[in-house]
Amino acid sequence: MGRKVYLNGKFIDRNKAKISIFDHGLLYGDGVFEGIRSYNRLVFKLREHIDRLYKSADAIELKIPMAKRILIKAVRDTLKRNKLDNAYIRLVVTRGPGDLGLDPRKCKTGVIIFIITDKIALYPRKFYERGLHIVSARIRKNYKGAINPNIKSLNYLNNILAKIDGIKKASHEAIMLTYDDYVAECTSDNIFIVKGGTLLTPPRDITLKGITQGAVINIARKKKLRFKEKNMRLSEIYKADECFLTGTAAEIVPVIKVDGHVIGTGKPGPVTRFLLAEFHKLTKIDGVRY
Nearest to 36 by CA among 184, 212, 157: 212
- Would you give the distance in Å from CA 290 to the centre of its chain? 22
DSSP element (H, E) containing 251 = strand 251-258
The residues pairing with 247 across neighbouring beta strands, listed in sequence order, are 251
Nearest to 245 by CA among 283, 280, 202: 202
Nearest to 253 by CA among 95, 147, 133: 133
Per the annotation, the verdict on 239 as an active-site residue is no
- DSSP notation for 79-94: HHHTT-SSEEEEEEEE
- DSSP notation for 122-191: SS-HHHHHH-EEEEEEEEEPPPTTTS-TT--BS--HHHHHHHHHHHHTT-S-EEEE-TTS-EEEESSSEE
Counting every residue written for the chain, the total comes to: 290
Among the listed residues 152, 223, 228, 257, the single catalytic one is: 152
Distance (Å, whole) CA 219 – CA 56: 25
Nearest to 275 by CA among 249, 243, 237: 243
User: What is the chain's Cα-based Rg?
Assistant: 19
| Residues carrying an active site annotation | 152
